[in-house]
């Protein structure tokens, strides 16, 4: 496994190198002279112009600029953003990237879970009302035009019903008197989520090691207690309302993304499940006298999951791509919106940085799914 | 088991997979069921455990286990009968083991579902015992199915079938996928285990050699019907039904005189549209107009009987099919 990881990481570095090169070529291929755009821009103060020239080697030949570009990327020096002057690009990205990751990881997780549950259910009991309702509505949503559907969701739930905020990351009125920054609150929220996940895996691990058969206690009360403790900690911290505000802003985009994409997982799970239930080991599980739910979940669905996980790669890449559209519709200040803004304002350092990070993110997601797949299927041992 | 019938509804119309099959099985007895592919052997096994696909419909009959009717049991109670009372050795051992779990876990799962053991530790000890019984190193428990050879997998499947001390084990082609040497060894072990544990076994096979080696009685199936049933030795010595004779002469005998192997010509009949009268008449050397028109009577000699108009032993007399 270690050898496999090492090889994958070196492949990733190679791919990243290609991404960097293509990005550089694309920016160079733009009409107008990249170098003179900065070097001669009278809007920039002279000292900044000088600094830019030195950082990007703007007065050097193109091939040297390319080498400088590579060196800058490796050392994490993406220069200074124009749009967010004088903040460095890396600083802007470090603030925006987690928001995108959280939004899309939660949306992907929710839509995968919903799609998998529905697909499993409709394959197990064929021909019910659920099958028709889920298939028709799922397919309709899957084929819907994303921006139009997102706007419709905003119109219904934010504008007409007023249940949820229209867009953006937070409500300025709530944050006016806050003495903490949204970034630090958000980081704390991430930390909480990570802590809860660690706790949940610990509990499930412990309950699986239980020695008594039949008298196994459910882990749900313990998990609820854990969640309650964390919620109480937030409530007492005095910044709970701020975290709640961010959460409220997340609901609509996550729900929209889920509705748009769950049908893919659902239909794939359904087909995969219909194949799996014909397998002998599913009949063997029934013959062993296992309860119906156990045959369905532990054997049929567990094996049907394998090809579906492969599709997770595509939905993750789709999510990262789609971040540009979805984030701009919901004014969610993540990396997609940042990229769009940067392109519009010709904030080239930020464009380059954002593209590099999106590429890096896609590669990372790919690696994570590959490793996940190996964990799920014992027949696969990477060498 | 009496008068069991089974129909599959298919696109080609209704297929009558089993027609009025009846037999009984004593405690500790080994019964063989033989016949060509598609004669209803596996359907019979699945009917006994109620594991039929959705398009199958029982058509009459009853399965009695210690006087209790299984076909009318609620699903939840039937679930408890499966494996605890009747278990199954599947014909394709590779496919009947779930590829994503360790094989020990899959045996453990059955033990847990039926509450045969109190703690995980004792259940694991039980699995280890079973593995030793079928000639496997208990460490094999930690392996995945794809890491085992065909013979090892078959042993795991046998250990799994024995895991809840069942009364009846149905072995559906237990050794067909294995090479002859492993096949023979596993059959011997299965027979020894049967004697040791006092369980009843139904061997389902198309291999007459297997039947001769391990069974007490044998039933011959043709086109969804049981056409002959009797003590294995008696049936082999002098079959009553022409089909039984044809089946036997298509296998070589080691001790008997040298002879040409006869192969039975023709195909088993289409069960969606079975022939009139005796289903075997289109392929039978002794068939007459009577066979084409009317269902054959049951004739017997001692404990052995067959359904035939022209039994091979003229001494056979009509018996009451009760």
- Per residue in B55-103, pLDDT (tens digit) is 777 777 778 888 777 878 888 888 888 888 889 888 776 688 999 899 9
Q: What is the mean pLDDT of residues A343-347?
A: 81
Interatomic CA distance for residues A235 and A229, integer angstroms: 10
Q: What is the three-class DSSP state of B97?
A: coil
Superfamily of domain A95-171+251-376: MetI-like (1.10.3720.10)
Residue B22 has what pLDDT? 81
Interatomic CA distance for residues A208 and A322, integer angstroms: 39
Please judge whether A290 and B146 are an interchain contact, meaning their C-beta atoms are less than 8 angstroms apart.
no
CATH code of the domain in which B303 resides? 3.40.50.300
SS (H, E, C) B112-132: HHCCCCCEHHHHHHHHHHHHH
The reply to whether ipTM tops 0.85 is: no
Asked if B304 contacts B240 with a C-beta cutoff of 8 angstroms, the reply is: yes
Does B32 reside within a domain?
Answer: yes
Which chain B residues are within 8 Å of A207, Cβ to Cβ? none
Does B95 reside within a domain?
Answer: no
Chain A interface mutation, best of B80, B99, B153, highest count of A Cβ atoms under 10 Å = B99
Which chain B residues are within 8 Å of A211, Cβ to Cβ? 119-121
Categorize the per-residue pLDDT at A102 as very low, low, confident or very high, splitting at 50, 70 and 90.
Answer: confident
pLDDT tens per residue across span A164-217: 887 777 777 777 777 778 888 888 888 888 888 898 888 877 777 666 665 556
Q: What is the mean pLDDT of residues A67-85?
A: 78
The boundaries of the domain holding residue B181 are 4-85+166-318
Which chain B residues are within 8 Å of A212, Cβ to Cβ? 118-120
Domain ranges in chain A? 2-74, 95-171+251-376, 179-238
**Alpha helices, H only, chain B:** 41-49, 75-81, 93-96, 103-113, 120-133, 150-162, 180-197, 208-214, 232-237, 242-249, 289-293
Which chain A residues are within 8 Å of B49, Cβ to Cβ? 287
Chain A residues touching chain B at CB-CB below 8 Å: 210-214, 279-281, 283-292, 294, 298-299, 302-303, 306, 376-379
Residue A127 has what pLDDT? 77
Residue B219's CB is within 10 A of a number of other CB atoms, namely 24
pLDDT tens per residue across span A16-34: 889 888 888 887 777 666 5
Interatomic CA distance for residues B129 and B138, integer angstroms: 8
pLDDT in 10s for each residue of chain B, 322 residues: 454 555 555 555 567 777 777 888 888 888 888 888 777 778 888 888 888 777 777 777 778 888 777 878 888 888 888 888 889 888 776 688 999 899 999 999 888 888 888 788 888 899 998 898 888 899 999 999 988 888 888 889 988 988 888 888 888 887 776 777 778 888 888 888 888 888 889 998 888 888 888 889 999 988 888 888 888 888 888 888 888 888 887 766 555 555 555 666 677 777 777 778 888 888 888 888 888 888 888 888 888 888 888 888 877 778 776 5
Residue A272 has what pLDDT? 92
Pick B83's closest partner by Cβ from A288, A298, A299. Answer: A288
Residue B6 has what pLDDT? 55
Please judge whether A287 and B82 are an interchain contact, meaning their C-beta atoms are less than 8 angstroms apart.
yes
Please judge whether B96 and A213 are an interchain contact, meaning their C-beta atoms are less than 8 angstroms apart.
no
The count of structural domains within chain B is: 1
Residue B128 has what pLDDT? 92
């Amino acid at each position: 496994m270690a050898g496999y990881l090492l090889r994958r990481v070196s492949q990733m570095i190679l791919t990243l190198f290609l991404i960097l090169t293509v990005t550089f070529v694309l920016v160079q291929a733009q009409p107008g002279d990249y170098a003179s755009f900065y070097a001669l821009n009278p809007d920039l103060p002279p000292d900044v112009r000088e600094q830019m020239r030195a950082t990007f080697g703007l007065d050097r030949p193109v091939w040297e600029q390319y080498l400088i570009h590579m060196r800058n990327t490796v050392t994490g020096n993406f220069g200074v953003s124009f749009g967010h002057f004088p903040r460095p690009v890396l600083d802007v990205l470090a603030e925006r990237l987690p928001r995108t990751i959280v939004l899309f990881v939660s949306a992907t997780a929710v839509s995968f879970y919903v799609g998998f549950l529905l697909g499993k259910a409709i394959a197990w009991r064929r021909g019910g009302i659920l099958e028709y309702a889920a298939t028709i509505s799922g397919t309709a949503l899957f084929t819907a035009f994303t921006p139009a559907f997102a706007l419709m969701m905003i119109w219904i739930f934010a504008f007409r019903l007023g249940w949820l905020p229209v867009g953006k990351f937070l409500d300025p009125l709530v944050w006016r008197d806050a003495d903490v920054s949204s970034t630090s609150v958000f980081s704390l929220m991430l930390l909480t989520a990570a802590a809860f996940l660690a706790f949940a895996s610990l509990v499930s691990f412990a309950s699986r090691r239980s020695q008594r058969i039949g008298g196994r206690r459910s882990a749900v009360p313990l998990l609820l207690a854990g969640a309650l403790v964390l919620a109480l900690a937030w409530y007492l911290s005095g910044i709970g309302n701020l975290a709640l505000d961010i959460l409220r802003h997340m609901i609509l985009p996550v729900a929209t993304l889920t509705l748009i994409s769950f049908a893919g997982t659902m239909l794939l799970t359904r087909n995969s499940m219909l194949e799996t239930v014909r397998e002998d080991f599913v009949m063997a599980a029934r013959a062993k006298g296992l309860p119906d739910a156990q045959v369905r979940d532990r054997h049929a669905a567990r094996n049907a999951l394998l090809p579906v996980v492969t599709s997770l790669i595509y939905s993750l890449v789709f999510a990262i791509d789609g971040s540009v559209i979805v984030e701009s519709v919901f004014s969610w200040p993540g990396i997609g919106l940042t990229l769009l803004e940067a392109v519009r304002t010709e904030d080239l350092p930020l464009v380059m940085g954002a593209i590099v990070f999106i590429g890096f993110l896609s590669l990372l997601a790919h690696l994570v799914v590959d490793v996940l797949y190996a964990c799920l299927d014992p027949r696969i041992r990477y060498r | 088991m009496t008068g069991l019938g089974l129909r599959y509804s298919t696109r080609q119309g209704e297929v009558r997979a089993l027609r009025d099959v009846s037999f009984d099985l004593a405690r500790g007895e080994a019964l063989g069921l033989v016949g060509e592919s598609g004669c209803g052997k596996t359907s019979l096994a699945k009917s006994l455990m109620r594991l039929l696909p959705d398009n199958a419909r029982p058509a009459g009959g009853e399965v009695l286990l210690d006087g209790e009717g299984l076909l009318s049991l609620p699903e939840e109670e039937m679930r408890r009968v499966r494996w605890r009372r009747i278990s199954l050795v599947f014909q394709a051992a590779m496919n009947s083991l779930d590829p994503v779990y360790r094989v020990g876990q899959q045996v453990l799962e059955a033990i847990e579902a039926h509450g045969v053991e109190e703690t995980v530790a004792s259940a694991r000890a039980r699995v280890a015992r079973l593995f030793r019984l079928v000639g496997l190193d208990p460490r094999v428990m930690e392996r995945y199915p794809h890491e085992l050879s065909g013979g090892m997998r078959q042993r795991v499947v046998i250990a799994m079938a024995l895991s809840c001390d069942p009364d009846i084990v149905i072995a559906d082609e237990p050794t067909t996928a294995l090479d002859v040497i492993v096949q023979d060894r596993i059959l011997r072990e299965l027979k020894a285990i049967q004697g040791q544990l006092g369980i009843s076994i139904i061997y389902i096979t198309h291999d007459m050699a297997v039947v001769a080696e391990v069974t007490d009685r044998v039933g011959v199936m043709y086109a969804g019907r049981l056409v002959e049933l009797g003590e294995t030795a008696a049936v082999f010595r002098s079959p009553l039904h022409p089909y039984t004779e044809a089946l036997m002469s298509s296998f070589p005998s080691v001790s008997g005189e040298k002879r040409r192997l006869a192969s039975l010509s023709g195909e088993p009949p289409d069960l969606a549209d079975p022939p009139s009268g005796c289903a075997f008449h289109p392929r039978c050397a002794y068939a007459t107009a009577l066979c084409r028109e009317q269902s054959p009577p049951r004739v017997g000699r001692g404990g052995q009987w067959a359904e035939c108009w022209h039994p091979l032993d003229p001494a056979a007399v009509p018996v009451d099919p009760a």
